[in-house]
Chains A and B, each alone.
Chain A
């Protein structure tokens, strides 16, 4: 049991309910409601005071914001060395992409973010969303590779940084999602061989760590291919990520499929729809709609997992941050560098998680109304 509270009996409703416009009443209710609560508040306030102040002093007051030669960072009593980020941010965000052409990955990243935002709007959940994605991803391909419209060709060994992280995550999801729907349908199929193939695939992939799949892609995949055929490293990693994500997404989609009442299937069969029409017009639209919040959570996990490509030597955001530290003048500032990387990942993941929570609430609200809950 934690200090100052009885969690089980505690009201599961909003904790911060204001007991009126009176701030003193609020403070008494939420910070000093009992002697145990008061003691806990005082102890935590003291600890915060002791820990937060030195941290703020280090991170803001004594921090070095600009020092191209890192001399100021090495000075006695200097705080956080944000000058590292100021100096290396282009490399961290875009890797070894030709410096003069880095507006291209920047623009591509912007298109990625636009695609995410558009897909998040419920008004845009229409078939033409697929076309927008197709157009967006093609534009990104043109921007990154170049070779047309007067853009110089850039081979994908030079792609890197945040742009590569977004690329791995987005293309991974874009290809894994359709695959996962097929896998989920196969796992719920009445045909035993199809079902067992799907179960075997999903459980095999979910049972092993992503690293082993990435190792497999980097060292084993070349052995699988016939003599003379080679696939570059980025594509190999991307394939492994797609196969990995598909297994996890399939389980989420399967959960959605299971939640659809049998009557829906039976009604569709009764009006004479074939299997694919039943699925495409009746079952999947409902199943996918209720799976969206858990799907977004899986996306978040996948977005974080893209950082593992560091281990097979791809230049994603985490790798560029880590490589920045190998420059002699910046060695020893790992904490600052990884805080920066954390912040970038956090912005994307936190936005997605907030979105998923809001969506869950609004979908649940719609559900509650149709159930006729609001009789009062």
Chain B
């Protein structure tokens, strides 16, 4: 390497060092400004505030008990649990709705196809935040009060205080049922492994799927009936101005879940449609020609190829849904962003608060993309 700017490698090295130096200098400048500003405004720094008493109540807590006397750390944990609760439920529901709508768009029935197209075109062209306000307005302004709550199904009440649903009263036998279900799943898996080995050895088929399904559902059913079928529901009942008993989805949670589901489903529908269309017709015909019947052709030939197209964009939709759940702050659902925002307003420690939000989402994003890279490698075409 020549020490001269005419040498390409030396030039590249100088250029990189200058760029790195500029970025570091800019960072140092910002940090020194920030330190001076914090000093001047007498704002504390560091994460010591996490151990202090939060002093605000949270309308909605799941899994983690919380009261205003608890610490900021606990409040943030409650927010994180709320984020996960709405994001996980949203992912499951959006996948179901999206797959249904995506397949409906491919339907040979004109009415079904057009309705699905209308769904996709309208919902993905309106901002999610507008949709959230819309759902929230429907629930909080247009549903009747608890006294005249709508009662579409027995035990389910829709009112402007949220959606009240019955809950199962837990009994000891339910643990046995769950245990039987897990045992059934394990046995079904063993059975599938055995059937595959036997087919590879002898060529004889065994209907492992149906037998496995019978095991996984039959064992818990036997346990349930054997225990005398203990099944009692606690139905919500009107008490004073609101419902008591059962479980209530707050208007905020219901609006956020509805908005996230319906919005993300419109994107998932397009992904599913593209994935199915990406599998060429000849693949199906070739599978039939080999003598596979429809379900097998679907499972062994078409789905693996469609999933290869579907999964990467689907994962990024899941990621989008999780990030979009941060819009909860606009309608007052206490997710991690809205709790951190309250903490910032109370303590003035903006940098730490925003760092926490960013760290949480970065962890989620990077884990999901790590998973996606792993999955992509697993299903990628092995080429010559």
A residues apposed to B, CB below 8 Å:
1-5, 7-12, 15-16, 30-31, 33, 37, 40-41, 44-45, 190-194, 197, 203-204, 206-212, 215-216, 219-220, 222-227, 300, 304-305, 307-308, 310-311, 318, 322, 332-335, 337-339, 341-342, 345-346, 349-350, 353
Which residues of chain A are within 8 angstroms of B361 by Cβ–Cβ distance?
Answer: 207-209, 212
What residues of B have a CB within 8 angstroms of the CB of A305 in the complex? 127
For residue B346, CB closer than 8 A to chain A, the reply is no
Verify if B115 is at the interface (C-beta below 8 Å from A). Answer: yes
Assess A8 versus B125: contact at CB under 8 Å? Given A211-B326, A215-B354: no
CB distance from B159 to the nearest CB of A (A): 16
B106 at the interface (CB under 8 A from A): yes
Across the interface, which residues of B come within 8 angstroms of A222, CB to CB? 37
Given A2-B100, A197-B19: A31 in contact with B110 (beta carbons within 8 A): yes
B residues within 8 A CB of A193? 16-17, 19-20
Interface residues in B103-142 by Cβ distance below 8 A to A read: 103-104, 106-113, 115, 121-122, 124-131, 133-134, 136-138, 140-142
CB distance from A64 to the nearest CB of B (A): 16
**Contact of B128 with A304 in the complex, beta carbons under 8 Å:** yes
Residues A212 and B141 in contact, CB atoms below 8 Å apart: no
Q: Is the CB of A7 within 8 A of B366?
A: no
CA distance A2 to B107 in the complex (A): 8
Question: Chain B interface secondary structure, helix, strand, loop or mixed?
Answer: helix
Task: Tell whether, in the assembled complex, residue B350 and residue A223 are in contact, meaning their CB atoms are under 8 Å apart.
Answer: yes
Whether B126 contacts A346 by the Cβ 8 Å rule is yes
Q: Does B103 lie within 8 Å of A350, measured CB to CB?
A: no
**Do residues A208 and B130 form an inter-chain contact, with CB atoms below 8 A?**
no
22 A-B residue pairs with Cβ-Cβ distance under 8 Å, sorted by A, are A8-B302, A9-B281, A15-B110, A30-B108, A31-B111, A37-B108, A40-B112, A44-B111, A209-B326, A211-B326, A216-B354, A224-B33, A224-B37, A227-B36, A304-B126, A311-B330, A318-B133, A337-B137, A338-B134, A342-B130, A345-B127, A346-B122
B140 to chain A: closest residue by CB: A334
A2-B107, A338-B130 in contact; A219/B326 too (CB < 8 A)? no
List, in ascending order, chain B residues with CB within 8 A of A300's CB: 125
Q: Which residues of B contact A3 (CB under 8 A)?
A: 107, 109, 112
Contacts of A349 in B (CB 8 A): 124-126
Q: Please, which residue of chain B has its CB at the minimum distance from the CB of A36?
A: B109
Q: Which residue of A lies closest to B283 (CB)?
A: A8
Closest residue on chain B to residue A26 by CB atoms: B110
Count residues on chain B whose CB falls below 8 Å from chain A CBs.
69
Contact with A along B135-176 (1 / 0, CB 8 A): 011101110000000000000000000000000000000000
Q: Give the CA-CA distance A11 to B329 in the complex, in Å.
A: 45
Least CB distance from A191 to B in Å reads: 5
- Contact across chains for B281 and A338 when beta carbons are under 8 A apart: no
Is residue B227 contacting chain A, with contact meaning CB distance below 8 A? no
Given contacts A203-B365, A211-B337, A227-B37, 11 further A-B contacts (CB under 8 A): A2-B107, A4-B107, A4-B112, A5-B112, A8-B302, A41-B111, A203-B366, A223-B350, A311-B329, A337-B137, A339-B134
- Asked whether B112 lies within 8 Å of A44 as measured between CB atoms, the reply is yes
Query: Which B residues lie within 8 Å of A16 (CB)?
Result: 110, 113
B327 touches A211 (CB 8 A): yes
Known contacts A44-B111, A208-B358; A8 and B284 CB within 8 A of each other: yes
Asked if B82 is at the interface (CB within 8 A of a chain A CB), the reply is no
Cα-based distance from A368 to B281 in the complex (angstroms): 21
Nearest CB of B to A17, in Å: 10
Tell whether B279 is near chain A: CB-to-CB under 8 Å: yes
- Is the C-beta of B362 less than 8 angstroms from some C-beta in chain A? yes
**Chain B residues in the interface with A (C-beta under 8 A):** 12, 15-17, 19-20, 23, 30, 33-34, 36-38, 40, 100, 103-104, 106-113, 115, 121-122, 124-131, 133-134, 136-138, 140-142, 276-277, 279, 281, 284, 298, 302, 323-324, 326-327, 329-330, 337, 341, 344, 350-351, 354, 357-358, 361-362, 365-366
User: Cβ of A197: which chain B residues have Cβ within 8 Å of it?
Assistant: 19-20, 23
Tell me if A10 and B107 are in contact (CB < 8 A).
Answer: yes
Q: Which of A7, A9, A220 contacts B351 (CB 8 A)?
A: A220
Contact of A219 among B112, B122, B323, B350 (CB under 8 A): B350
Name the contact of A31 in the complex, choosing from B100, B109, B127, B130 (C-beta under 8 A): B109
A45 close to B111 (CB less than 8 A): yes
Task: State A127–B57 Cα separation when bound (angstroms).
Answer: 58
Check A353–B108 contact: CB distance below 8 A. no
Q: How far is the CA of A4 from the CA of B36 in the complex (A)?
A: 69
Query: Would you give the shortest CB distance from B139 to chain A, in whole angstroms?
Result: 10
Complex CA distance for A186 and B24, rounded to whole angstroms: 17
**B329 → chain A, closest Cβ, in Å?**
6
Of all chain B residues, the one with the shortest Cβ separation from A200 is B23
Chain A residues lying within 8 Å of B341, measured Cβ to Cβ, are 215
Q: B residues within 8 A CB of A10?
A: 106-108
User: Shortest 8 CB-CB distances between A and B: which pairs?
Assistant: A334-B137, A207-B365, A30-B110, A349-B125, A304-B127, A5-B107, A193-B16, A7-B106
Q: Do residues A207 and B366 form an inter-chain contact, with CB atoms below 8 A?
A: yes
Whether the pair A310, B129 counts as a contact (CB closer than 8 A) is yes
- How far in angstroms is the closest Cβ of chain A from B272? 9
